[in-house]
Chains A and B, each alone.
Chain A
Amino acid sequence: MSGPRRDPDMVRPYVRTQGRIRAREDVRLESVVIAATGPTDTLGPDARRVMRLFAGADGGLAVADIAAALELPPSTVRILVSSLMDSGHLSSPVAAIDDQPDFDLLQEVLRGLRSMV
């Protein structure tokens, strides 16, 4: 089976968000972010909506959760979250020190799924 070719006519609408046009590679749809602190008055309206979601939050949200809550395209939210991480408004949750150093995501997922049945 040969691989599909990119259809050049199929594009997403061009987006420019907070001066960024591309998402950071480490900001994916499933990436969880938590709110850090910082003044939000210089942010654009969509970025401010993102930060408002975290007001009083007792946990994080993935890019996909933010896109669903704000009804924004996920590709736009990836970029918004990227710039909010650049500016220090959002950050990644940090693993506790007692986390195993050889923490293997795939094995943990397999173990987790098996424990559910």
Chain B
Amino acid sequence: MDFAPWSDRADRTDESAGAAGTDRPVTYVPATVTRSAKIVVAGGFGVGKTTLIGSVSEVRPLRMEEPITQASAGVDDLRGTPHKTTTTVAMDFGRIHMAGGRIALYLFGLPGQSRFQPLWEDLAEGALGCLVLADTRDLDASHDALGLLDGAGIPYAVAINTFPGSPSYPEAELREALALDPATPLTHCDARDRTSSLHALITLTEYLSEHRSAALLETRR
């Protein structure tokens, strides 16, 4: 079975409108698919999550929206009832088919802010791992995502997305600034480029594979 990135397709006729008419178009998962897997792409605002997912996805990337309610804390709460505010968090995702069409790999993007933790739980459950995108102009923006992943015990790799004007630092300095474990892979990518994005995902998946072998050895001891 042959799949091409959605953006390369001239026809894109695989999108059929839902029978209800008003529903957004859906692209069905091929009937050959019997297993699915998920990788989460995290990072601060505007770091290139949506771009990377769009670069590698074989179907038009889609968006889900989850409302979350926050009882606002602060001085206002000292008098009267707490205010509730609802924030809608958008999560975009794409899909790659592999293993002769037997596997659908879903890629989910999520902003890394720790206040979105309720969503992290749904996303992280069963994830193979996470690719954290970082921009050297604002490395601190990655800390929330890294903290959430460390807390949840989700294995991850970090890819520095290179933007024009982003300063470059020696790897040791980057590792220190991001407080990375020596074993955590650190790579570079251009999220706009399909091959470069795939290489970042391969770096992550290779690490996951080693990480799992190491974990198996650990439990046998």
Chain A residues packing against B (C-beta within 8 Å): 1-4, 6-7, 9-13, 25, 28-32, 34, 49, 52-53, 55-62, 64-65, 67-71, 73-75, 78, 93-96, 99, 103, 105-117
Contacts and interface: CB of A to CB of B under 8 A. Distances in A.
A114 B202 contact: yes
A114 B92 CA distance: 24
Interface of B: 18-20, 23-31, 33-38, 56, 62-73, 86, 91, 93, 95-96, 98-99, 102-106, 108, 114-115, 117-118, 122-123, 125-126, 128, 146-148, 150-152, 179, 195, 198-199, 201-202, 205-206, 208-209, 212
Contacts of A49: 20, 23
Contact of A105 (B28, B35, B195): B35
Residues of A contacting B: mostly: mixed
28 contacts: A10-B115, A10-B117, A10-B118, A28-B38, A29-B106, A29-B108, A30-B38, A30-B126, A32-B29, A34-B31, A49-B20, A49-B23, A52-B18, A57-B28, A60-B33, A61-B29, A64-B64, A65-B27, A65-B29, A68-B62, A73-B64, A95-B35, A106-B205, A106-B208, A107-B209, A110-B202, A117-B198, A117-B199
B147 A71 contact: no
A58 B63 CA distance: 22
Contacts of B126: 28, 30
A109 B37 contact: yes
